[in-house]
């Protein structure tokens, strides 16, 4: 059983683990468990797996009516998780973070079923920290995670990513055609996560006239919350080379098309970009626990493998940062070479080895 979700950063590694396990053990049964109404309830079936939803919800950081219902939802979720485990009889349970994984791993641990926690970030999430004491193993993507988890149970595997992004070298022509991009203009790929990032979107609005003037194209994932507003503003400004899209499914083609990438510094984005090897400007989200996106990005910046632009400076300074990178091919080459050294292409297989060891 694999549990967790809430964001693509939790869901896609979970699906990558399932795919790697299925490839090796095609007769296995895998059941996902998520939170009712969250994006995993759509994304997991799209990937071909069964999923059950729990009524669990996260605790709000301020006093709200929703918090009053939290204990009842948690109790219901633990009861449902108990029934699911009883019926499915898993040999192991994997938690990928997000509050959806809490009830299932809690029940599995109480029943003595091996549990593996996969932590994507450089700063452990609350659910994973709460599960740390009784988990059997931890697969992490950053060094120094002993401050959250027992050192003897930590395995430095990296984050599992979608297999298709490992082979993008020959896809440039196909990619440009797929997104309606010109072959003679550099392409900026802009990623703010599946839901979108307000600051990045505002920075693009502020920079798009300059980008067109410089002869750049932008393939811009706005996120579903902002798509209508952003596409309307691009149309009003008559920007032909700025291409807003709500969500990019063919990430292999998006990466293949890109000359440089502007991105949040969520764990999954950092892991994918390390494998893709494109020059990247990270604009870390400040709205995350312990500012972990800045820590994720700085792990690369310190190795001269990426450029960082603080969120509060993005609207004002993005166009200058892009020009600086576009006009410096030796810097682009250096960033590309160094970021590739940080990649862990076999992360999913390394996690499978740890799972096998737990089951045996």
Q: How confident is the model at residue 16 (pLDDT cuts 50, 70, 90)?
A: very high
> 242-268 pLDDT, tens per residue?
999 999 989 999 999 999 999 999 988
The residue whose two tokens read 């192991």 is 92
pLDDT in tens, 28-84: 999 999 999 888 999 999 999 999 999 887 655 556 666 666 677 788 989 999 999
Task: Tell me what pLDDT residue 58 has.
Answer: 61
pLDDT at 64: 62
Taking the C-alpha atoms of residue 285 and residue 226, their distance in angstroms, rounded to an integer, is: 16
- What's the pLDDT score for residue 139? 97
Residue 291, pLDDT score: 87
Alpha carbon distance 350, 140 (integer Å): 11
pLDDT at 9: 80
Q: Averaged over 314-326, what is the pLDDT?
A: 98
Q: How far apart are CA 320 and CA 207, in angstroms?
A: 9
pLDDT for the residue numbered 65: 64
Tell me the whole-structure pTM to 2 decimals. 0.83
Are residues 262 and 318 in contact, defined by beta-carbon separation less than 8 angstroms?
A: yes
What does the buried/exposed string (b/e) look like for 321-342 if buried means 16 or more CB atoms within 10 Å of the residue's CB? bbeebbeeeeebeebbebbbeb
Work out the average pLDDT over 283-290.
87
Asked if residue 242 lies in contact with residue 220, where contact means CB atoms within 8 angstroms, the answer is yes
- Residue list, annotated binding site for UDP-N-acetyl-alpha-D-glucosamine: 7-9, 121, 162, 194, 248, 267-272, 293
Q: Which residues contact 153 (CB under 8 A, 6 or more apart)?
A: 135, 136, 137, 138
pLDDT tens across 91-137, in order? 999 999 888 899 999 999 999 999 999 999 888 888 899 999 999 99
pLDDT digits over 335-348, tens only?
Answer: 999 999 999 999 99
Tell me the C-alpha distance between 41 and 36, whole Å: 7
Say if residues 258 and 336 touch (Cβ distance below 8 Å): no
Render pLDDT for 203-223 as a digit per residue (tens, 0 to 9). 999 999 999 999 999 999 999
Q: Is 38 left (phi over 0), alpha (psi -120 to 50) or beta?
A: beta
**Per-residue pLDDT at 195 exceeds 80:** no
Q: How far is CA 300 from CA 193, 230, 296, 303, in A?
A: 19, 30, 7, 5
Kindly report, residue by residue over 133-151, the tens digit of the pLDDT. Answer: 999 999 999 888 999 999 9
Map residue 307 onto helix, strand or coil. strand
What average pLDDT score do residues 295-319 get? 96
> In the chain, what are the domains?
2-159+346-359 (3.40.50.2000), 164-341 (3.40.50.2000)
Q: Going by DSSP bridges, is the β-strand pair 2-3/242-245 parallel, antiparallel, or unpaired?
A: unpaired
Measured distance CA(119)–CA(8) in Å, rounded: 14
How confident is the prediction for the chain on average, in pLDDT? 92
List, as residue ranges, the binding site: 7-9, 121, 162, 194, 248, 267-272, 293
Strand order from edge to edge, sheet including 260-263: 242-245, 217-221, 187-191, 260-263, 280-282, 307-308
pLDDT at 156: 95
């Amino acid at each position: 059983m694999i549990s967790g979700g809430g964001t693509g950063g939790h869901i896609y590694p979970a699906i990558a683990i399932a795919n790697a396990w299925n490839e090796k053990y095609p007769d296995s049964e895998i059941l996902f468990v998520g939170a009712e109404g969250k994006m995993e309830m759509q994304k997991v079936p799209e990937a071909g797996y069964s999923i059950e939803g729990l009524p669990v919800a996260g605790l709000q950081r301020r006093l709200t009516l929703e918090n009053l219902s939290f204990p009842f939802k948690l109790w219901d979720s633990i009861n449902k998780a108990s029934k699911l485990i009883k019926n499915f009889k898993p040999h192991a349970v994997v938690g990928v973070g997000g509050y959806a994984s809490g009830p299932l791993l809690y029940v599995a641990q109480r029943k003595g079923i091996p549990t593996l926690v996969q932590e994507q970030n450089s700063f452990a999430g609350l659910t994973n920290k709460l599960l740390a004491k009784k988990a059997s193993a931890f697969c992490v993507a950053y060094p120094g995670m002993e401050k959250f988890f027992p050192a003897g149970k930590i395995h430095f595997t990296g984050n599992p990513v979608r297999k298709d992004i490992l082979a993008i070298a020959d896809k440039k022509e196909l990619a440009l055609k797929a997104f309606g991009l010109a072959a003679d203009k550099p392409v900026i790929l802009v990623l703010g996560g599946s839901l979108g990032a307000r600051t990045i979107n505002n920075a693009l609005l502020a920079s798009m006239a300059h980008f067109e003037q410089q002869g750049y194209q932008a393939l811009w994932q706005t996120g579903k919350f902002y798509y209508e507003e952003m596409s309307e503003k691009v149309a009003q400004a008559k920007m032909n080379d700025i291409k807003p899209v709500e969500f990019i499914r063919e990430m292999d083609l998006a990466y293949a098309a890109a000359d440089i990438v502007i991105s949040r510094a969520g764990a999954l984005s950092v892991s994918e970009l390390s494998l893709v090897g494109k020059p990247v400007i990270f604009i870390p989200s400040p709205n995350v626990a312990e500012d972990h996106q800045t820590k994720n990005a700085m792990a690369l910046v310190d190795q001269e493998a990426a450029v960082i632009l603080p969120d509060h400076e993005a609207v004002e300074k993005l166009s200058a940062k892009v020009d600086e990178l576009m006009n410096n091919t030796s810097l682009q080459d250096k960033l590309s070479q160094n970021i590739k050294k940080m990649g862990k292409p076999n992360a999913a297989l390394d996690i499978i080895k740890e799972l096998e060891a737990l089951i045996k």
